[in-house]
Structure formats: structure tokens, C-alpha cells
Structure 1
Amino acid sequence: MTKVPGRLPRAGHPDAVERHQLLRVRGRSVAWVPPLVLLVGITVADFNTTGEFRIISWIVLVPAIAAAICGVWATAVFAVLALVTYVGADNAWPHEYQTGLPDFILVAVGSILACLACAVRVRGERRMLHMRDIAETTRRTVLRPLPSDWGGLEHAAVYLAADSEARVGGDFYDIQPGPYGTRVLIGDVQGKGLGAVEAAAALLGTFREAGYHEPLLGTVAERLEVRMVRHREHTDALGRRDGDRFATAALLGFRDDDPDTLDVVLFGHEPPLFVGSGGVRFLLPDGGLPLGLGDLAADGLPPVRRVPLLPGETLLLTTDGVTESRDGEGVFYPLADDVARAVAADPDLARPHRLVAFVRDGTVRHCGNRLVDDTTVFAVRRRPAPAPVRGRLQS
């Protein structure tokens, strides 16, 4: 997948690993510098104060600071250094100015507690890293990485989970090339949490198989509807309270035999925007119901609509994290108008990776970096056919 430039915003605060990266210079840790500077500073200050005002006992702060930013062994080293420095500095003064045994006990106890606190912190960080690896594996399983030019499509995507710790939510997207063309799916499972992730994984698994094997896009749509109903029946049988779960989705089909058209099935999802150098085209909704609610529709599943596709035109697909993003006054993000103005000023913005970056930045800016729902921005377009190579005629 095309990597979208720029730093991706995330809800919440940076984790411990990101904080510790700030204490590295050219790949090497400098976490030992602050406690060392504090150790030297307290010692020098103690020697430059009067005997009535001794601050050497403040050296207990050295192992405490080390416990917050260093490893266990480094904290233990600073604890020993603090004790040795305290004894040396205190004994260098005349007897009447020495702080003596009480402050030595204070420094010793503080050093031991600092080492214990550091061990607890490091253990928690290791557990956090393990959980982050699990979350990353889950994300890569549900939203698998897509090769560049996959299925003859140039594509780019940004996914921002509202739950910054889980890093994955109910939004899903994928591209599946096959013998009957390349199919694209994007959707949003109703609700949040692991139940939404599970439903998204079920739909993606069905799409990857049906999108490859089924000749007709309408059959792929039927398979997705059946899978959502089966998944809901399974969770009902387990006694879980997500029996009313459904998913909005947009299913696209790029035909190999007709590159100038596009097949579209909308399951209650926002229609894609057709973005090209000439501006932005709209596709009206067809009133189709979300996946899992097909039995409520009198006409059955949404129809497969075949629409024209202009050369170089990019399809912009988003989830409701974009369309329902609001500013401080409750105004929705004007996606279509914003994109239309930007493309009119810079037609090259229609390229997928630039378009996705623009919509991402616009959404985050509009909502003041307060994402309340999973947000997906996905853009695809046909890869232009290579120009024929003209060779010389040889006799």
C-alpha cells in the first residue's frame, strides 16, 4: 500500500516507549544523563553551602529520577552512587555539621524503593509492549497490508482507530484481484469493541474468497449478506448482546473487459466520490440497507449499478468517521466541497496518496483532533496502461 506521508494523529497520550524515544540521541540512550547531572549538582551545591544548610540528603532524588526513566540495573547503579556520594560528602564536613545516620537511612530506603519501583515499571512496560504486539498482529490480520499496484489499482489508505490502545476497530477495507476483475470493499461495522472487530474479520474473510471465485459482483454481495446474518446468529447462540449488529459497506468491481465502467453495490454506505482533474462527480445513494438487514428490504439486496469511469479518475471512499466529523459548533465536515475546491486549485491532488493525506488532515483539523469514531480514508484508481514502446525496424 502506498505510504501516506505525514505523521498520523492518534487519540490519547503517547505510551512509555514513545516517551523513552525522546531520551535517545543517534540511536543511543541518554536516560542516564538527568540523574547523573542531578547527582553532581546536589553534591556541588552541598559543598558550596554553609554548614547550617546541608542539602546532601536531597540526593535521594537521584535514584528516584533514575527509576522513572532508566532500567533496573542503571537505577541500582545510581542508588549505590547516591549512597557512596552521601557518605563521602557528609564525612567531608566537620562533625557538628554532619547530617549523620538518619539521613543515611533516608537515602538507603529511598534507593531500595526506587529500585523496586523501577522493576515494577519495566515489567509493566514489557507487558504493554506484548499487548501492543498482539494488537498490531490483530490489525494486520483484519486489515492486511496491500502490495502496491495490487490488482492493477493505485491505492492509498489511512486508518485511525478511535481506540488508540486497540489500534483496530470496526472499519474495514480490502482489495481482491481475481479472474473476473478486481473487487474493492470498504465498510463500517455498527458498534465498537472486539465484537465489531470480529464481525469485520468475518466479512473480510468472506470477501476475499467470494471476490476471487464468484463471476458476478451481485453474488459477492449475496455472500456478504449471508455471512453477516450467520455471524449474528452465531453471536446470538453464544448469548452475546450484539445480535442487532450490522455493517454498512460499499462493494466495487473493476472489470477487466470494460475498463471504462465501474460496478457499485451500496449497503447503506456513503457513495464514493469520483475525483479527477476535471473536478468531483457524485453518485446518488440507492437506498440499500446495511449488511445483515437485507430481510427488511422489500426489494431484496441493493442492485449492482454500472457507472462510467473516466480515465485517471480516483474513487474516494470514507467511513462515517469522516462524514460525521464535527467541529466545536457541531457542523459536519464538508468533505465533497473541501475536495472540490482543493482539486480545482491543484488537479494533481486527485492522485490517491495525496488525496488521502488531504482528507485525513482536513478531518483531523475540522474536529480539532478529537476523533470520536474509527476513521478510514481509502482512495483507488486504475493504473494507467503503459504506453507502447516504439522500436526500430531492423532489416
Structure 2
Amino acid sequence: MPGARREPDPAARQRLLRIRGRSVAWVPPLLLLLGIAVLDWNTSGEFRIISWIVLVPGIAAAICGVWGTAVFAALAVVTYVVVDTSWPHQYQTGLPDFILVTAGGVLATLACAVRVRGERRMVHMRDIAEATRRAVLRPLPPGWGGLDHAAVYLSADVEARVGGDFYDIQPGPHGTRVLLGDVQGKGLGAVETASAMLGTFRESAYHEAALGTVAARLEVRMLRHVRYCDAVGRADGDRFATGVLVGFREDAPDEVEVVNFGHEPPLVVAPGGVRSLPPGDGLPLGLGELAGGLPPVLRVPLAPGETLLLVTDGVTEARDGDDVFFPLVDRVAAALATDPRTVEPRRLVRLVRDGTLRHSGGRLEDDTTIFAVRRPTALTSRSAAGG
């Protein structure tokens, strides 16, 4: 969601309020209650602060549960009565402040109930979103398709309206094919479109000998999906998807085939530096008819040990407080100069993920997928065999 801000995670907040597995959320409001009572007892009669005790249930409402907040609301009222009546009559704050403290406790308890309900709903929605994403993005075992690989998906939507980023690796008799894409829009419609693309990719990438045929099957599937959405009256019938389709052929170990559907061109990350693949002139999936055909299949050099880095626009469009885009190429090149092992997929994905989050201050403008694949070098192959 453009402009969305990442809200505090309720689960993470609760972890911060635990020590050795036990909740200490009750400590701040208790200390505040005792502090106000002690300070009021030691002030002069002309300056009473006991009515400040109304803050106690308010603090509890922000960090404690409903019952805990109710207990502190009751303690605030009892403490107020005990402390106030211990003063001579002329210095007592009396009924008005008693009503204030009582009403404050009731309102704080109600506010806490609303907060807890909202947090539970948020956690529930995030669980549903995660389950949906896992159903679409299957886990990839190590070495799948004979490739070293690593990937990470970061959601930018605080309301758990999942996005349409997708990726997969499909080995087959004609080599291993890789797909990364980004469906326009968000929500379950985008996830449904991503699922359709992945289903077609997994079948065609296995059976079809030519990568261009796989690309054609993806284009046809997108058009069929759009026509179906129009037929059932769905508002998302105008969807399209950018994507990059890559083929690793066994008979061409020093090159890859690439079809670019209007996506950011992948980067080739090598120990000696970073280079970008040709951008191509293809339109996104679903819009090929406007260009009179599909984008061409490009053959580009990729030596064993060089890593192909594919990202969605959550990375390339990440901005800092000064509205400056994340300098992906410069960051990767600088890391390589410091540590050539950055070329390894896991290290590379971790570098880009951490760099993107730091650059954007943790506020992602869009869902973000970072995907790195490479043919294993002889050294990594022997290490895997020995493991």
C-alpha cells in the first residue's frame, strides 16, 4: 500500500514487556501509582497531585490486558480515597476528583478492551495472510533444480492485505526455469492472479522445451484470467503482471536465457562487480497484444558462481526521508569490494533486505521480494556432497 506505515507488532511489543518469559507490563503503572501516592503525601496541602492517579489506568490500558487494566482502575480509586481522606478536610480534593479518577478508570478499561480486540484481529489477519502466501509460494528445498538459491518476502501492508509478488524454481527435462513476478494491485485478487501464473509456470516450465513457449503460455494464462474476471464482474479484471523468466540450460553452462515482461532487469553479481542484464522491450504479462507480440528470448552470459539477483519494486522504489531511492547497485558493489563472499545467495539476499529496511526506515512502500539464484561452483557442489 503506497504510503502505508508499518504499525508496531503486538507480539513484538509483548516480548519487550517480558523478562525470562514472565510479563512485567504491570510494573510501570504500579510504579506510577506508588510514586503519585508518595509524592502527594510529601507535598503541602496547597499543592495536591493525587488526582494525577487517573493516569495509572490509562498507562495500564496501553500495555496490560483488560483484567489488569480493571485492577489498576480499582487500585487507583482505592488509593485516591485512602490518600485523600488522610488529609485534613480543608486540603481534601473531594468528590469532583473522585469522579474524575473513577470515570478515567472506566474509560481506560473500555479503551483497553478495544485495543486488545484490535490487536487480536490484526494477529488473526496476519496469520491468514501468511497462510495464504505459503499456499502460493511453496518452500524451495536447498539445491532445488541444481541451483543455489535464497529468497525473502516482506509485506508492506499493515492490514495484512497480501500482495501479488511471486517466485519459483521449476526443474525439468529441458533445464531449470526460474520465475519472479509482481502482480499489479493488492488483496486476494492479486494473490489469485499470482497463483494462476505459478500454476501455469510449474507445468509449462517442466514440459515445454523452448523458453519462448513457456513465456507464451504465461501470457495466454494471464489473458484467460483477465477474461474470466471480466465475465464474473470482478473489479480487478484489468490486472497485469511484470515478471522475469530465466532458463538455465544444461547444455549451456555459461549462459542463461531471459524473457523480461516489463520488469526491472536482473543484476548479475560476481566477485569482480555488478552488472545489469539488458532491460528488453517487453510489456507486462497481459499487455502483450499492445506490443504486437511477446518479448524476445535473450541469451546472456552467466558463469558458474555468478549470482542472478532479482527483486520487485519494493526494493528499487524504497525511499529514505529525503525521498532518495535505494541505491541497490552501489550497495551491492560496495559490499562485494569489502567481502567477495557477498556473491553467495544467502548473504546477498540478507544484504539487500537489511539495506532496504534501513534505507526506508522500516516503512516499505510496497511488498518486497528479493530472490537470488546461481549455478553452484565446484567448491559449493563438493561442500554440499560432503554435507
* TM-score, scaled relative to structure 2: 0.85
In the alignment, structure 1 segments of 5+ residues that lack a partner are 1-9, 390-395
What is the CA distance between 1:162 and its match in structure 2? 4.0
Give the one of 353, 356, 365 matched to 1:372: 365
CA distance in 2, matches of 1:287, 1:200: 22
Matched residue, 1:201: 195
Other-structure match for 1:107: 101
**Aligned equivalent of 1:19:** 13
- 1:139–1:167 Cα contact (<8 Å) kept: no
Answering whether residue 116 of structure 2 is matched by residue 157 of structure 1, we say no
Match of 1:393 in 2: none
User: Is the deviation greater in 356-365 or in 154-163?
Assistant: 356-365
Distance 1:214 1:16, change over 3 A: same
Of residues 139, 145, 153, the one that matches 1:145 is 139
Task: Give 1:32's aligned residue.
Answer: 26
Residues in 2 aligned to 1:52 and 1:388: alpha-carbon distance in whole angstroms: 79
Give the equivalent residue in structure 2 for 1:355. 348
Partner of 1:287: 281
Give 1:5's aligned residue: none
Mapping of 1:72-91 within 5 angstroms? Answer: 72-91=66-85
TM-score, normalised relative to structure 1:
0.83
| Cα displacement (A) at 1:230 | 0.8
- 1:32 CA displacement: 0.4
* Pairwise CA distance, 1:374: 3.5
Tell me the equivalent position of 1:315.
308
Aligned-pair CA distance for 1:282: 4.1
Query: Distance between the aligned counterparts of 1:366 and 1:87, measured in 2?
Result: 52
Post-superposition CA distance 1:119-149 (Å, at most 9, x none): 2221222112111211222222333333332
Would you tell me which structure has more helix in proportion to its own residues? 2
Residue correspondence of structure 1 range 248-287 to structure 2 within 5 A: 248-287=242-281
- Equivalent position SS for 1:177: strand
Conserved in 2, the CA contact under 8 Å of 1:248 and 1:267?
yes
CA contact (8 A) 1:175 1:182 kept: yes
* Secondary structure at the counterpart of residue 212 of structure 2: helix
Q: Residue 232 of structure 2 corresponds to which residue in structure 1?
A: 238
Report the CA distance between 1:231 and its aligned residue: 0.9
Cα distance in 1, alignment partners of residues 37 and 339 from structure 2: 62
Deviations 1:163-212 (A, max 9, x none): 34337323221222334432210112234444433322221222223333
Q: Percent identity?
A: 73
1:90-129 matches, within 5 Å, as 90-129=84-123
- CA-CA distance at 1:74 after TM superposition: 1.2
Query: Aligned match of 1:131 in 100, 107, 125?
Result: 125
CA contact (8 A) 1:136 1:167 kept: no
Q: 1:130 to 1:342 in 2, by over 3 A?
A: closer
Letter in structure 2 aligned against 1:351: E
- Say if 1:327 and 1:255 are closer, same or farther in 2 by CA, change over 3 A: same
Say which SS state the counterpart of residue 185 (structure 1) adopts.
strand
Residues 70 and 97 (structure 1 numbering): CA distance in 2 closer, same or farther, change over 3 Å? same
Please provide the CA RMSD for this pair: 3.1
Conservation of the 8 A alpha-carbon contact between 2:178 and 2:247: yes
Match of residue 172, structure 1, among 159, 166, 169: 166
| Further displaced range: 99-108 or 173-182 | 99-108
